[in-house]
Amino acid sequence: MCLMKSLKLSPPLALAALFIFGCQGKPAPQHIVRLATTTSVQDTGLLDILTDAFQKDGKYTLQAIAVGSGQAMQLGKTGEADILWVHSPDDEAQFVAEGYGTDRTTFLYNDFVILGPAADPAKVKGTRKAADAFNKIAAAGALFVSRADNSGTHKKELKIWDAAKVKPGKEFYIEAGQGMAGTLSIAKEKSAYILADRSTYLSMKKNIGLEIVSEGDAALINRYSLILVSPARFPKVNAAGAKAFFDFVLSKPAKEMIEKYGVAKYGRQLFFFDYAVK
Amino acid sequence: MSFIIQGFQKALHLIFSGNAEIFGIARLSLTVSLLATAAAVLAGVPLGSWIAVKRFPLKKLLIALVNTGMGLPPVVAGLVVMLFLARSGPLGFLNWLYTPTGMIIAQFIIAMPIITALSISAMQGVDPRFYQQVLTLGASDWQAIKVCLKEIRLTVLAAVIAGFGRLVAEVGAVMIVGGNIRHQTRMLTTATVMETNMGNFDMAIALGLILLTLSFAVNLALTLIQQKKVLPR
């Protein structure tokens, strides 16, 4: 084409075209398993090792989309994902009750921690109950940064505010609308209190000057579940592939990988597997 | 400050250690953006030229719309493409969501108005009498446009550079349409966002530096092509 010739672009572009379409090798859809999961699973690096192990036999390709739990559920509600790995128990129960998914299996947990500046202006340190800690933060008029993004962490935070029966004043409550790490950075810059999942906190500990001010309350447990998206409701869902990933995660080899994960890098186990593997 | 220095060191290390994953990510970034730019040039330059030389009703409105398209937020383009390519969307049967093809389509939509708008203004800079003269010599519309394009190829190449620059640095659309899937749709920009989210600021800076280096290489090549066409003075 004369136009292309005059631009002298054609050979490199043709090469580029060859490159991408040559190596893209789009697998047939039934080989693709689409997992919608949360950023905390990706950001700790756990997702990568599980993906590699699952794909090892070459039978399936996992498309893992790491988004907030809210968006992950939305991907399930439109039949966009085949399987969910989320941590928002109340929403999960509703999701299954409304017929979007089946076989909800809670298999994994870790915990949330309440972080604050080292100076601890609200004197929260040593408070065992999460709701009491939130109460002190609100009473002292200390800054609090919220994820405010409909994630599992955000939902947990709202639940604790409910239990505390207070709401911080608008001027003390910063709604970040970002992921965990972005929100942690804001809390660091503002010397504010924040609810964070322990794994993200551990991975960012070296960069943020915040300390754990309250931990260990049962209300701070963070439970992860797998849910199969209903093939009856969404015929395009890859039910066989989703089940294969489901069975893989709930298997002994995966359990061992998960339990060992994080010890070398962060000095402690990040996720605790509590499903009775057959 | 230490992150920036560590980032530089990490970038050098990643480049010279031949990290296969980083090379894969960089190659995907380049090919997606280059192909999207190429498609936008193939469609946008003729369209822009045609809009420039033709008279038709509401022409000014159309040009204003194209100019507005230059400011199209990538996330909006990404969201619309995502909804169309979704399983539940009208083009779901193609299975292009979360694939490089889907990302190319989204980036094409972002680059198309830029290349079209810049082609319109470049073509309108050509003396209308010159165009008319070519027509009177018996050329068809398209032949005359081709002749004019030769005259303005420097400006058209500038449009290509602008389009590519926008695409290779773009993150919103490819994040939504591609999903940042490891080994499949992870690009330099989406990987940078992810590493930032993970608190690996040195890695994020390293990826950013690699992106800038690649972008510089492509722009240098395009600029050399462009400057070769500059008449000696």
Whole-number Å distance between alpha carbons of B213 and B202 = 16
Domain count along chain B: 1
Same domain for A233 and A183?
Answer: no
pLDDT of residue A269: 87
Same domain for A136 and A103?
Answer: no
> Would B120 be classed as within a structural domain?
yes
Rg (CA), chain B: 20
- Contact across the interface for A3 and B34, Cβ inside 8 Å: no
Residue A180: domain span: 112-220
DSSP A150: S
CA neighbor of A144 nearest in space, from A126, A167, A111, A164? A167
Same domain for A36 and A136?
Answer: no
In chain A, the largest separation of any two C-alpha atoms, in whole Å, equals 76
Whole-number Å distance between alpha carbons of A20 and A14 = 10
pLDDT of residue B197: 76
Out of B99, B149, B180, name the one closest to residue A26 (CB): B99
Strands A101-117 and A61-67: unpaired
Structure tokens at B76: 């909006």
Same domain for A70 and A104?
Answer: yes
B214 touches chain A (CB under 8 A): no
Question: B154, B68 in Cβ contact below 8 A?
Answer: no
Same domain for A124 and A182?
Answer: yes
A209 touches chain B (CB under 8 A): no
- Contact across the interface for B38 and A234, Cβ inside 8 Å: no
Out of B86, B181, B225, name the one closest to residue A63 (CB): B181
Interface contacts (A, B; CB < 8 Å) = 99
pLDDT beyond 90 at B29: yes
Same domain for A119 and A101?
Answer: no
Strands A221-229 and A101-117: antiparallel
Domain count along chain A: 2
B156 touches chain A (CB under 8 A): yes
- Contact across the interface for B179 and A78, Cβ inside 8 Å: no
Q: Least CA distance to A62: which residue of chain B?
A: B181
pLDDT of A136-182, one tens digit each? 999 998 999 999 888 889 999 999 999 999 887 788 999 988 888 88
pLDDT of B110-121, one tens digit each? 999 999 999 999
Out of B31, B86, B221, name the one closest to residue A78 (CB): B86
**Residue of A3, A49, A82 to mutate, interface with B, max B Cβ within 10 Å:** A3
pLDDT of A7-44, one tens digit each? 333 444 444 444 444 444 444 478 899 999 988 788 78
> Would A21 be classed as within a structural domain?
no
Question: B119, B47 in Cβ contact below 8 A?
Answer: yes
Mean pLDDT of chain A: 86
For A191, the 3-state DSSP assignment is coil
> The CATH number of the domain where A87 resides is what?
3.40.190.10
Same domain for A101 and A231?
Answer: yes
> Would B103 be classed as within a structural domain?
yes
- Contact across the interface for B153 and A181, Cβ inside 8 Å: no
Phi, psi (rounded to 5 degrees) for A249: -65, -30
The question of ipTM being above 0.90 is answered as: no
**Residue of A7, A50, A80 to mutate, interface with B, max B Cβ within 10 Å:** A7
Which of residues B28 and A43 earns the better pLDDT score? B28
Residue A234: list chain B partners with CB under 8 A: 87-88
Mean pLDDT of B74-96: 92
pLDDT of residue A178: 82
- Contact across the interface for B87 and A4, Cβ inside 8 Å: no
The residues near B55 (Cβ < 8 Å, ≥ 6 apart) are: none
pLDDT of residue A189: 87
- Contact across the interface for A180 and B30, Cβ inside 8 Å: no
> Would B233 be classed as within a structural domain?
no
- Contact across the interface for B34 and A78, Cβ inside 8 Å: no
Same domain for A118 and A173?
Answer: yes
pLDDT of B146-171, one tens digit each? 999 998 988 999 999 999 999 999 99
> The CATH number of the domain where B138 resides is what?
1.10.3720.10
